[in-house]
Amino acid sequence: MAMVKRIFDVIVSGFAMIVLSPVVVLAYFGVRLTSSGPAIYLALRVGRGGDVFTMHKFRTMHVGSGSGSVITGTNDSRVFFVGRILRALKIDELPQLYDVLMGKMSIIGPRPEDPKIVAQYYSPLSRETLSVAPGLSSPGSIYYYTHSHLHLDDNDPERSYVEKLLPIKLALDLVYVRRASLWYDVTIILKTVGTILLIGLGKRQFSEPPELAEARKLMENADSPLVMLNSPQGLS
């Protein structure tokens, strides 16, 4: 399965890089012409086995806008106009096709998280999501894409993310890890593309994902919480 998935990742990422190259070029110049600084942002993320790696994204925030929260709020003032468009249509994630081609990521897999979030809030159960390569998309990341605007508080995006979104996101990705198959990956790719198109056309209300019932059952029956809110490093 691992070898088949790797071959699948190389073929899909290589094909996507060719087909989407005009979009990548437009995004590159869009960033460079509307905000001073580099077009590509290098983000530290936690990958398979807990190893930290450098992930590539189109920069969507002003350079020198301060460290701020590691979670971007819905109306975060650090994001410039073109950056908002890139984020809304997930174009800012396209440079990660290179990370997939290099073997650091997969097309489908749990979205890689900021090291701070992993260190402070991931429980032993949550770390099961680190047993596979992180991906461009997953059931958890689709849920975040379609529902984050309903839960994120711009006054404290990190707290609202950790309390309201991260547990569900992790549970959905645990369902993916335990169900993983090539066909499941294909269905997630199709759902991701469809969701991006619908959001691009203005849709804002989405139904709950089919995996959510299983994810909630997992959360209820787990011996330990998915998110360590009461740990010494967690939220106080």
pLDDT tens-digit series, residues 133-186 = 999 999 999 999 999 988 898 889 999 999 999 999 999 999 999 999 999 999
pLDDT above 90 (res 228): no
127 token code pair: 């770390």
Mean pLDDT of the chain: 93
Domains of the chain: which residue ranges?
A: 2-221
pLDDT above 80 (res 5): yes
55 token code pair: 């992930």
Tell me 109's DSSP state: S
Q: With bands split at pLDDT 50, 70 and 90, how would you rate the model's confidence at 29?
A: very high
53 token code pair: 């790696």
Task: Give percent above pLDDT 70 in the chain.
Answer: 96
CA atoms of 108 and 125, how far apart (whole Å):
20
164 token code pair: 């309201």
**106 touches 134 (CB < 8 A):** yes
What pLDDT shows up at residue 89? Answer: 96
pLDDT above 80 (res 234): no
pLDDT above 80 (res 224): no
- If you search the block for the tokens 């969507």, which residue do you land on? 60
> What is the separation, in whole angstroms, between the first and last Cα of the chain?
42
What pLDDT shows up at residue 154? Answer: 85
39 token code pair: 């077009």
Which of these ranges, 35-49, 142-156, 184-198, has the smallest mean pLDDT? Answer: 142-156
What pLDDT shows up at residue 236? Answer: 46
Instruction: Please state the pTM of the whole predicted model.
Output: 0.92
Residues with Cβ < 8 Å from 29, sequence gap 6 or more?
Answer: none
pLDDT tens digit sequence for 62-91: 997 666 788 988 888 899 999 999 999 999
Q: What is the mean pLDDT of residues 111-128?
A: 95
